[in-house]
Structure 1
Amino acid sequence: MNDRYSFLNAIHFKDIEFLYNKYKENPNSIESSWSAFFHGFDFGKENYKNIQNVIESKDIQKEFLVYDLIHAYRKRGHFFTNTNPILQNRKKHIHSLDLMNFGLSEKELDTYFNVGKLIGIGKTSLRNIIHHLKKIYCGSIGIEYMYISDPEKIHWIEKWFFKEKLQFSTEEKKFFLKKLNEAVTFENFIHTKFVGQKRFSIEGNESTLPALEEMIEYTSDRYLTEEFIIGMSHRGRLNILSNFFEKNYSQIFIEFQGKEYKEKNFSGDVKYHLGFSKKRKTRKGKYIKLNLVPNPSHLESVDAIVEGITRAKIDITYNQNTNKIIPILIHGDAALSGQGIVYEVLQLSQLKGYKTGGTIHIVINNQIGFTTNPSEGRSSMYCTDIAKILMSPVLHVNADDVESVIRAIYFAVDFRMRYQEDIFIDLLGYRKYGHNEGDEPRFTQPSLYKVISKHTNSYELYKTKLEKDKIVSHNDIKNMKKEYENILNVKYHEANHIKWNVLNSFLEEEWKDIPIVFNNEEILKEVDTRFSIEKIIKISHKIFSLPKEKKFFRKTEFIFRKRLEMIKKELVDWSMAELLAYGSLLYEGYHIRLSGEDVARGTFSQRHAVIKTEKEEEIILLNQICEKQGKIQVLNSPLSEYGVLGFDYGYAMCSPHVLTLWEAQFGDFGNGGQIIIDQYISSGEKKWKIRNGIVLLLPHGYEGQGPEHSSARIERYLQLCANNNLFVVNCTTPSNFYHLIRRQMKLKFRKPLIVFTPKSLLRNTKCLSTIKDLSTGIFQEILDDPYVKKVNKITKLIFCSGKIYYELLNKREYIQDEKTALIRIEQIYPLKMDEIKKLIDKYENKKEIFWVQEEPENMGLWSFILNKLGGIISFKLIAPSESSSPSTGSYPDFLKIQNKILKKAFF
């Protein structure tokens, strides 16, 4: 006998009984394979007898050898499937499932074993056991699941796969063939009509189309699902848009023809990046909503957006019922394993403020990434190995076997609905052409493409099968093809007579009452953000008074006591103004979502929107203002910028009446989410006609804390500004920040708002506002010098933005300068140029105008200001010299640099 099984010689009934009793107390208290073994039996007296039958068997060692074989099929059967339609190479180092490796031989094939009960076929021969195991684990579907720690979940998975194989009706099989025909014919039609144009065809994974069709059919019928949010990259996107989303074929053909957009305010995007929303019928006549989220070439960036949209709809539309809506992410194999955003999004999947009831992941596995082989593109065995961090099951499926693909879909849906967790389907197919249809793949993969060129596609394979089974006839197939080709031809000719391209907007229903605004007059129009003093004071007492019956940390009590004392003096600091802005909006019925690293307390211990008792009970006083108020979610996020910012952008994408804010721990870390900022926040409206009102809070300011805790890189955001696409603001007073936040919801339109927020100013004794400022004021884009008494005395104007103002103010007071006026630009974009000109004209005796900033000369606002105002105003710059690093790491050096700026400003 193989040495590795010699331990069985020492196993006795009492040993196994002991293990079984331990298992009953706690399944996790014993080794996982024994736990799985015992869980294979149902609980109860009858099944305890089954165990005894196994234990008391005459050949106990053989029983356990067969059990070990069963366990190996469960754990490693996926290595020995026929899931790969074009390649059959096996990993050489993987231990095979040959009998000899388990201390068994062909002599035992007809011997009956009790362990057959473990796989639901009763006491039977080893031959039958192996046949059954191969059918379950080594067919067109290979399943990975034995790393799951929950025995009940393992049992449910096995029970699902052990049941009788799904039998599809004649009509269903004809429908699958119809969809495969559409997938193939659509690609061939475009290939001939638009020669050489990129389309990123679905060929090699055509079964994705019937899979999606069957998913919506199954979920809407069995689980009453009403909506799907789908994210996918370009591979197969046009086919899915036309044949699943039912986007008008003529519209797609217009996009291939490259016709101009009728609306000149939108640049549009390439056709295989565009989003689409559609309400359509299932085959059984149920209406469902389908949404395909716009996606740039940063392939997996859409994952976070999809989850955010889904969560918003769960919160707002579906009253927390996650069965009503399902997020579907369709990945490419190379992108799934190569892009870190996947990991970030998966880590959000079970968190309170971010979970969406489980995502169905479908991998269109082409087994190549552009020109890169899997062996060059990842270190893991499978592209789906990241699923194991969540202990999500993975199904590897032969994409040529459409019925197995549908079966995998049913399993994925049932698992998601039962456990509210993610599930992965790896559709192993191929890519018929190169990365795009003009690319030559034989430069880099000549052997692979020799195989692919001779491979029969899934439509032809399934057609042959159905013809052989006499389900369809030659005439049926001929008529089906002709009917679909006629539709394509009609739509092609229609497209030739349409003059303009039209940019289909995404989530139009959700934004029907919110206009898209571009003109300066509307963008810069003053907005009424007033709120009565009486209500502000009332809200203040609600949100700054700790519950008397609870015990809090001494410093927490001090902070809240100080806030109440300031309210008595009718003063507010920055953090109070922020909380009062939220409180006033909540009072008016708006909902708020505040998310980011450490936002509950605040990075600088300033916010305390969530307070904890000594027993760590969480209290959000903002949710206790009045009966019919809106609700605020305050969510500490994982240490992630890319994933969380994408999620919150997605949340804001379909919730225009919710104030959605994302805060970076330090503004410098915003660059971790740069792809979301570049590809979505700044350009989504122009490319995809998407509106979004997300607010980014980015702490910014030079306090000698080093290069990574100084600059939020204001200059980068300003480079992204054009066509009134963003608001970029750097406030210096609590009241202006208060009105800014209120303005964001009072606007008739929505634009992303980038706010550079303070650090040291949070506790600066001069950075205070009155409650009257909050009540009667408005947001001011430009702040004139409030301390100038005699305008005709002013000979020097200093323009600045942000914290440097207070340092200039202190310096001016110290040297008793009365000739210099300090003017603050609070809203940097869009810039109120007319108001700046008026202010300059106001100071008639000015001789010099300076721009002062604490950022190095090649950073900060200077380049933007010079570009916008340099032609009409003669500025002189005062700033640290240009630098490749935002700031020095030495505090004494920092002080020298700051003092040098201040000295230059006044002497």
Structure 2
Amino acid sequence: MTSQSSPERISRASNAIFEETAFLFGGNAEFVESLYAQYLDDPNSVDPSWARYFAGLEGPTGPSSPSWAQRAQDSGAVAASPGGKASAEDVRLAAQQSVRMIQLVRAYRVLGHFAADLDPLKLSEKAPVPQLDPKFHGFKESDLDTPVFMDGVLGLQSATPREVASRLQRIYCGRIGYEFTHIHDAEQKDWLQRRIEGPEMEVHFTPAGKRAILNKLIEAEGFEKFCALRFLGTKRFGLDGGEAMMPALEQIIKRGGQLGVKDIVIGMAHRGRLNVLANLLAKPYRQIFHEFRGGSANPIGLEVSGDVKYHLGASSDRDFDGNLVHLSLTPNPSHLEAADPVVLGKARAKQTRNNDTQVRSSVLPMLLHGDAAFAGQGIVAECFAMSGIKGYRTGGTIHFVINNQIGFTTSPQFSRSSSYCTDIALMVQAPIFHVNGDDPEAVVHVARIATEFRQLFHKDVVIDMYCYRRFGHNETDEPSFTQPLMYRAIKDHPSTLELYAQKLVSESTMAQGEVQHMVDDFNKRLDDEFEASKSHVPDRADWLSSYWLGFEQAPKSYKRGETGVDKYALLDVGKTLSTIPEGFNAHKTIVRQMQNKARMFETGEGIDWATAEALAFGTLVREGTPVRLSGQDCGRGTFSQRHSVLVDQDTENRYIPLANISKDQAEFEVIDSLLSENAVLGFEYGYSTAEPRALVLWEAQFGDFANGAQVLIDQFIASGEMKWLRMSGLVMLLPHGYEGQGPEHSSARLERYLQLSAQDNWQVCNPTTPANYFHVLRRQIVRPFRKPLILMTPKSLLRHKRCVSFLSDLETGTSFHRVFRDQAECVPGATTVQLAPDDQIKRVILCSGKVYFDLMEAREKYNEPHVQMLRLEQLYPFPEGPLGQELERFPNAEIVWVQEEPRNQGAWFFVRHRIEYLMEKLGRRVRPRYIGRPEYASTAAGLMSQHTAELQYIMEEAMRFDLKIRIEDEQ
């Protein structure tokens, strides 16, 4: 059942659309007509708003406006008086009828789509649209065949109401429903109106074009039927019922190539994916059949988990009339619409690489949706919200909705509140073309218009193809359990191929024998491919090619990498970071910060977190590596620490120091994102997969904000390489630390990332010095492979007097440390404790993150020389080697793990068995003990007093041996 089954809903939509032009309704016709007659006598006698409106109806006129009446008289639409001149009454009647005709035309433009023939199954209850009847606007039966002056509307000088209504019915109420009058931009609306109503309004194809459409339908239907026969009962999520999509996509590629598109990035769910892989991207049928048999998509020897065949991606080049277009289908999980922002990010990266940063017409993102997911998944709205924002726009996306009129077992009236599943696109004033999927020519026609609109106006456009799902949600499902009437109709409904073949035969475009011959030839081809699949062995992996050439698979053991930078390069960047341009009126606090930075570079001491980060970014762009940082308020930084964008206090002009290091530097892009985590993180992940030579970072405003993007983290970032051979160097910056700010802004949920850690899928780090942060960022680029980097970043440590580094810690020869030994005597300004010799150390505290600084202060408070502290700066991959070397130094010490997170959170459950295993390798059967908060359902206490008491208890437990240590028995 479609959304048109509810007359009340249609009525509500009609009223909403017409609300702003209610003055044009028939009930007000007498009033409007009298005003118009008054305007004709004297344009200055009516309100200026009415004068503008009437002027728009009649076009340019002379000073006294009698020319309209003269043109009407010349057209024969006004009867002249016996004296040969139109009387005032004639003019009034002509104005009255013309206004009514304009009302009628507008009604069709606005509401005609509600009366269009869209449902192939014709299950919809057709709600009447009275505004489409000429009589609604005041025409009488006797008026219907009387010419009315049109003045060029619809390309007509005059026409009868009956003729106009017939023409409008053909244009707006056929098998295409055009929805575009919500668009505010006059140029866009005018172009669409002319394209819809003009000479090309008729859906017309040459015999060769019709044969091409037929051929794609044969391929689409033939492939599905072949798979159903050869692999009976196997899930394939077939396109059956929506085959007209295939010639439409072919048209988008062809017309796009003619209009300058060089690359199309495609995203879609599982419905019809195998068909798209086979018949659009030309993935070999034998490979697909090999996967149906249980074979791998990748060559033997690659240590990957793989994925089901209808989640995989592919890429290929298609040549249409000499225009080469590269196609890439992005892999996706079963989380519907989750791949949308990934596609947009990939497209943006490719556009940037092509230097297409203005109109962005060379790379086209194309998203294929299901109707229920398009209306129901919030990430769709987030992607629309990004479409016009400077940091995320891609020049417009073509959205193709495979409208099966059902979502799994849920009918539309239970799955959305809007008239159409596509109403979400109204938020960005995208044109929407509703089309009957049983009319492939109409579907291809709107695909062509959509492509032209996108290339001309660089904004989103939607094709809503009404079709059906011939089988259940998958081929083993029984859909008549829940939709018996729909599936009774589907059972008796001929396929799109059958209907179109009959049409071509009936109009003598083709003979019946020709059609059957094409079908037989294609089936023979599939039979041959099926036989070939029995011995098929994949010989290449779809990765590390094209722009990834030169990159490698990660080695089994990591090297430190050359991440240090020449001192003079650091000072060069530092000079930019500490200089305000002449004439720029910066905030007084910023001026002081700049002065402090200048002193850092003069003395080489006190390098804080934000300065080390800026040096990492600055040295990278200076060396030719682009840097892209996005996130909510990341330009200033949530904690006012970054200030990568300075704002003039008088003019609000912006100055970005890192974009002004040198003339030949790479781009530094810092973007304050929209208030979205899911779509923005997906966008940045997609960007990183298409641009491995850039450092791409996403910063959460607080670490727990990443919870809103958990699907992207689980399904793409953590597992994308193992499932789909898709490397990414994305960096996630997650502010983390317990400072008494309550449960919502304390924890970045470190435990979740550690639980997802396996098979060397990414890196999880918790650095505690600005220098180590500097090196871990640069390490992302200098290595010849890419892995995502999950970084717990600080809040209070951003300005902590002990969380500082020397400039020499960043210079050539220095690098990232996965484990830090106790630096009690190395921290500037620290009141240190003289530690006992290694063999007299009674306790080794292992920890990670901010808690180290709390422990330092506690050790000084209790003056405890027999406690050593080791920091794990990298938790995954677990630093077994360097940690083992450090632990060997303390043969008589117990091992304690201290964390500020609750026991069931943080790193404890991840590290405890690894530490125990490591101690066994060292010949000591010592089990680590836990000191920290007890298990919590929440992440942290909500009261500062409780937080302080808990922290004090942890510090006492860690340092005072005379206190009874409360540790649960691990036996």
- Please tell me the TM-score bracket, short chain as reference: over 0.9
| 1:11 counterpart (4, 10, 35) | 35
Q: 1:50 to 1:324 in 2, by over 3 A?
A: farther
Looking at structure 1, the residues matched to 601 and 794 of structure 2 have their Cα atoms a distance apart, in angstroms, of 22
- Residue of structure 2 in register with 1:474 after alignment: 512
Looking at structure 1, the residues matched to 713 and 41 of structure 2 have their Cα atoms a distance apart, in angstroms, of 60
- Residue of structure 2 in register with 1:668 after alignment: 704
CA contact (8 A) 1:99 1:106 kept: no
> 1:324 Cα deviation (Å)?
1.3
Looking at structure 1, the residues matched to 792 and 683 of structure 2 have their Cα atoms a distance apart, in angstroms, of 21
Looking at structure 2, the residues matched to 195 and 245 of structure 1 have their Cα atoms a distance apart, in angstroms, of 25
Unaligned runs of 5+ in 2: 1-24, 73-89, 825-834, 920-925, 961-971
List, as ranges, runs of 4+ consecutive aligned residues in structure 1 with deviation greater than 6 Å. Answer: 16-23, 34-37, 40-50
Looking at structure 2, the residues matched to 859 and 17 of structure 1 have their Cα atoms a distance apart, in angstroms, of 81
Q: 1:589 to 1:445 in 2, by over 3 A?
A: same
> 1:264 Cα deviation (Å)?
4.2
- SS at 1:127's partner residue? helix
Q: 1:272 to 1:116 in 2, by over 3 A?
A: farther
Q: Indicate yes or no: 2:904 matched with 1:867.
A: no
- Residue of structure 2 in register with 1:340 after alignment: 378
Looking at structure 2, the residues matched to 743 and 878 of structure 1 have their Cα atoms a distance apart, in angstroms, of 33
- Residue of structure 2 in register with 1:454 after alignment: 492
| 1:555 counterpart (558, 583, 589) | 589
Letter in 1 for 2:599: E
Equivalent positions of 1:8-407 (< 5 A) are 8=32, 10-15=34-39, 30=49, 56-90=91-125, 92=127, 95-115=130-150, 117-164=152-199, 165-221=202-258, 223-260=259-296, 262-282=300-320, 284-320=321-357, 322-407=360-445
Letter in 2 for 1:216: I
Letter in 1 for 2:907: L
Q: 1:370 to 1:809 in 2, by over 3 A?
A: same
Looking at structure 2, the residues matched to 414 and 45 of structure 1 have their Cα atoms a distance apart, in angstroms, of 37
> 1:6 Cα deviation (Å)?
4.2
Equivalent positions of 1:481-560 (< 5 A) are 481-498=519-536, 500=537, 504-505=541-542, 508-517=545-554, 519-521=555-557, 524-560=558-594
> 1:504 Cα deviation (Å)?
4.5
> 1:280 Cα deviation (Å)?
2.5
39-48 or 431-440, which moves further after superposition? 39-48
Letter in 2 for 1:450: R
Equivalent positions of 1:751-762 (< 5 A) are 751-762=787-798
> 1:44 Cα deviation (Å)?
8.2
> 1:98 Cα deviation (Å)?
2.5
Q: 1:399 to 1:22 in 2, by over 3 A?
A: farther
Looking at structure 1, the residues matched to 186 and 170 of structure 2 have their Cα atoms a distance apart, in angstroms, of 23
- Residue of structure 2 in register with 1:904 after alignment: 957
Looking at structure 2, the residues matched to 481 and 40 of structure 1 have their Cα atoms a distance apart, in angstroms, of 54
> 1:115 Cα deviation (Å)?
3.0
Q: TM-score, normalised by structure 2?
A: 0.89
Looking at structure 1, the residues matched to 315 and 743 of structure 2 have their Cα atoms a distance apart, in angstroms, of 44
- Residue of structure 1 in register with 2:857 after alignment: 810
Looking at structure 2, the residues matched to 47 and 884 of structure 1 have their Cα atoms a distance apart, in angstroms, of 80
CA contact (8 A) 1:330 1:362 kept: yes
Looking at structure 2, the residues matched to 274 and 648 of structure 1 have their Cα atoms a distance apart, in angstroms, of 20
Q: 1:299 to 1:20 in 2, by over 3 A?
A: farther
Q: Indicate yes or no: 2:842 matched with 1:795.
A: yes
- SS at 1:561's partner residue? helix
> 1:288 Cα deviation (Å)?
1.4
**1:513-557 CA deviation, whole Å, 9 max, x = no partner?**
21122x431xx2121111111221121011221113211111111
- Residue of structure 2 in register with 1:711 after alignment: 747
**1:160-211 CA deviation, whole Å, 9 max, x = no partner?**
1112225311111111111111111111111100000111111111111101
CA contact (8 A) 1:589 1:630 kept: yes
**1:123-150 CA deviation, whole Å, 9 max, x = no partner?**
1111111111111111111011111122
Q: 1:162 to 1:21 in 2, by over 3 A?
A: farther
Letter in 2 for 1:766: R
- SS at 1:268's partner residue? coil
> 1:319 Cα deviation (Å)?
3.2
774-783 or 330-339, which moves further after superposition? 774-783
Letter in 2 for 1:402: P
| 2:947 counterpart (884, 894, 897) | 894
- SS at 2:573's partner residue? helix
726-735 or 535-544, which moves further after superposition? 535-544
- Residue of structure 1 in register with 2:904 after alignment: 858
| 2:673 counterpart (610, 614, 637) | 637
> 1:45 Cα deviation (Å)?
7.2
> 1:18 Cα deviation (Å)?
8.6
Equivalent positions of 1:405-804 (< 5 A) are 405-498=443-536, 500=537, 504-505=541-542, 508-517=545-554, 519-521=555-557, 524-571=558-605, 572-614=607-649, 615-775=651-811, 776-787=813-824, 788=835, 790-804=837-851
Looking at structure 1, the residues matched to 604 and 68 of structure 2 have their Cα atoms a distance apart, in angstroms, of 76
Q: 1:568 to 1:228 in 2, by over 3 A?
A: same
- Residue of structure 2 in register with 1:849 after alignment: 895
Letter in 2 for 1:733: T
Letter in 1 for 2:846: F
207-216 or 166-175, which moves further after superposition? 166-175
150-159 or 771-780, which moves further after superposition? 150-159
- Residue of structure 2 in register with 1:26 after alignment: none
**1:546-594 CA deviation, whole Å, 9 max, x = no partner?**
1132111111111111111222221210000000001111111110100
**1:373-415 CA deviation, whole Å, 9 max, x = no partner?**
0001111110000010001111100111111111101110111
Q: 1:748 to 1:192 in 2, by over 3 A?
A: same
Letter in 1 for 2:790: I
Letter in 1 for 2:845: I
Q: 1:93 to 1:807 in 2, by over 3 A?
A: farther
- Residue of structure 1 in register with 2:14 after alignment: none
CA contact (8 A) 1:308 1:651 kept: yes
Looking at structure 1, the residues matched to 45 and 433 of structure 2 have their Cα atoms a distance apart, in angstroms, of 33
Identity %: 38
Letter in 2 for 1:512: L
Q: Which has the larger radius of gyration?
A: 2
> 1:827 Cα deviation (Å)?
0.3
Looking at structure 2, the residues matched to 621 and 312 of structure 1 have their Cα atoms a distance apart, in angstroms, of 23
Letter in 1 for 2:171: I
Q: 1:22 to 1:340 in 2, by over 3 A?
A: farther
| 1:879 counterpart (932, 935, 948) | 932
Looking at structure 2, the residues matched to 421 and 173 of structure 1 have their Cα atoms a distance apart, in angstroms, of 29
Looking at structure 1, the residues matched to 823 and 667 of structure 2 have their Cα atoms a distance apart, in angstroms, of 37
> 1:120 Cα deviation (Å)?
1.8
- SS at 2:901's partner residue? coil
Q: 1:17 to 1:401 in 2, by over 3 A?
A: farther
Letter in 1 for 2:400: I
Q: 1:595 to 1:66 in 2, by over 3 A?
A: same
- SS at 2:341's partner residue? helix
- SS at 1:277's partner residue? strand
- SS at 1:698's partner residue? strand
Looking at structure 2, the residues matched to 825 and 390 of structure 1 have their Cα atoms a distance apart, in angstroms, of 48
> 1:434 Cα deviation (Å)?
0.4
CA contact (8 A) 1:693 1:753 kept: yes
